[in-house]
Chains A and B, each alone.
Chain A
Amino acid sequence: MTYAAPGAPPAASVELPVIRDNPVAGLHRLANRIVTLCWVELRKIRHDRTELYTRAIQPALWLLIYGEVFTRLHAIPMPAGVSYLAYLSPGILAQSALFIAIFYGIQIIWERDAGVLTKLMVTPTPRSALITGKAFAAGVRSLIQGVVVLIIAAILGVAFTDNPLKIIGAMMILVLGSAFFACLSMSIAGLALARDRLMGIGQAITMPLFFSSSALYPTKFMPGWLQAISKVNPLTYEVEALRGLLIGWSTTLWLDTVVLVGATVASITCASLLLPRLANR
């Protein structure tokens, strides 16, 4: 009998791989892809450390010049016992992660133009796993950059928590925040499609995101309309959570975390749906 009904197993001469299509296998594969793409990121950082140094310049200037001057000015009232520099440091930490993450949209367009993305998409990696992996890779890079920022702040005399659980918590928040902004950037890449266009958009959104968050000043000093914007700006929640964990600032940590997780899931979904549009252009 050579005639086979549709869906019948293929001829015996060709053995096909067995794949398990269940949720557990799917999660295992997702974890594997995240680890793999983070591994790629670490290798790249290892091969080229210059970016690590050049990206340290901006946060250093913010802390060293802006931070020191505004601490002396006492322009932004702080509660007793909190220096403005301590208040500012988590904000600058989040800012440096934001700038790194926003770059991932440009990177994915570059990978598309170089043909690398196409090849990744022909491996057994679901679109969502590819995006999630890249999002976490952005998190890994932000973490390493974050260490540099924290060291600078510590040298300037900021005392951070010594509770290891809180430090781990802060690391997770930083990864989540980076994942969100990386996916936001990759989503915009899926709409903009061209690198030059995206570079303009990227520059146009990072500063507004930064200034409309609580990175530099408490939102209560903002005009009403800006307060409204800062309430829907995930960067605010990231900064508040980092402050809560690193310098003991009072915040509703669970709310910050829920907002960040929700925003990250939404942006991963969005970027995954837009990925074929980007790849097939």
Chain B
Amino acid sequence: MTAGAAEMAPEGTTTDAVRCTDLSYSFGTHTAVDHVDLNIVPGEMYGLLGPNGAGKTTTIRMLTTLLKPATGTVTVFGIDVAARPMLVRRVIGYVPQMLSADANLTGLENVELFARLFDVPRRTRKDLVDGALQAMGLTEAATRLAGTYSGGMIRRLELAQALVNAPRLLVLDEPTVGLDPIARGDVWDYIERLREEHQMTVLMTTHYMDEADAYCDRVSLMHRGTIRATGRPADLRAGLGGGATLDDVFRHYTGDTLDDAQEEGGIRDVRRARRTARRLG
């Protein structure tokens, strides 16, 4: 279960939890993901880091069957995502970047919906749903409408939704975005516990370098659609010399061109912000 073993494994083995080969995607003329190669070993907690617009979410959307790769392939536990999307969806649990639960259903119903959509048989459904809610500390709030939940509770609810499927691979796109420090710590505690209990492989993105440093076995630094560096956080820090933090590593690989990146992402970010504003208003 070490990173080294997988790196030495010959091409074409199916043991990787995730393997992206020459993966690209473009929105019109704008290349969001540019010939990315990466592999994630089963059991690993893998972090995809990078500034806004780096292409992290786009990579994840290809991996979760939402977008068809323009070039290259992604496999999840050896299954080609483009060829067998339905099978891949049974293997992964996905928590998207945006906090999202159906506000007009209770927490319990939100989780039961996913149990039903993952074909959990009726006999075991109730226990599984209750178990997932309990594992995320939501038993008390389970019968309240999700519209009344705080941000941290919605994130935990989303984790509970992803859990009913007993996924082999948990994909978390900025799991702690928009949460206060206490809620952030909570969510990480729960994720860590899940990993221990279920030996899940986790792929996540975050903008918080301290989180990546503390929880990830390996990270990749992504910038303008390409992977600039991959390794264990400690190794990457050591590579920059004594006393470097992961923040320094991040800046080293992405900082000098941050202005350009912001320009690129600008219009779309404005559009996104507007959409959010509309939803709230």
Contact surface of A with B, Cβ cutoff 8 Å: 2-6, 8-11, 13-14, 16-17, 19, 21, 29, 32-33, 36, 39-40, 43-44, 47-48, 110, 113-116, 118-126, 195, 279-280
**Given A124-B86, A126-B86, A280-B66, are A113 and B13 also a contact pair (CB < 8 Å)?**
no
Question: Are B100 and A14 interface neighbours, CB within 8 A?
Answer: no
Contact residues of B: prevailing secondary structure: loop
Stretch at the interface among B109-117, B186-194, B204-212, B257-265: B109-117
- Between A and B, how many residue pairs show CB distances below 8 Å? 120
- Residues of B contacting A16 with CB < 8 Å? 77, 79, 87, 90-91, 168
Cross-interface CB contact of B118 among A10, A13, A118, A124, cutoff 8 Å: A124
Nearest Cβ distance between residue B267 and chain A, in whole angstroms?
A: 14
Question: Are A4 and B13 interface neighbours, CB within 8 A?
Answer: yes
Nearest Cβ distance between residue B160 and chain A, in whole angstroms?
A: 12
> What's the interface size class on B, roughly?
35 or more
- Residues of A contacting B113 with CB < 8 Å? 36, 40
Question: Are A120 and B117 interface neighbours, CB within 8 A?
Answer: yes
- Residues of B contacting A126 with CB < 8 Å? 86
Question: Are B79 and A19 interface neighbours, CB within 8 A?
Answer: no
- Residues of B contacting A19 with CB < 8 Å? 86-87, 90
Nearest Cβ distance between residue A123 and chain B, in whole angstroms?
A: 4
Question: Are B99 and A48 interface neighbours, CB within 8 A?
Answer: no
- Residues of A contacting B98 with CB < 8 Å? 114-115, 118
Contact surface of B with A, Cβ cutoff 8 Å: 9-10, 12-15, 42, 61, 64-67, 77-79, 86-87, 89-92, 94, 96-106, 109, 113-114, 116-119, 145, 158, 161, 165, 168, 275, 278-279
**Given A113-B275, A116-B102, are A14 and B42 also a contact pair (CB < 8 Å)?**
yes
Chain B, Cβ-Cβ closest to A122 = B94
Question: Are B15 and A10 interface neighbours, CB within 8 A?
Answer: yes
**Given A115-B96, A118-B100, are A3 and B12 also a contact pair (CB < 8 Å)?**
yes
Question: Are A124 and B117 interface neighbours, CB within 8 A?
Answer: yes
Listed by A's residue number, 27 A-B pairs whose Cβ atoms lie within 8 Å are A3-B12, A4-B12, A4-B13, A8-B78, A13-B42, A14-B78, A16-B77, A16-B90, A43-B105, A43-B109, A44-B105, A47-B106, A47-B145, A110-B279, A114-B98, A114-B100, A114-B279, A115-B98, A115-B100, A118-B98, A118-B100, A119-B94, A122-B64, A123-B114, A123-B165, A124-B90, A126-B86
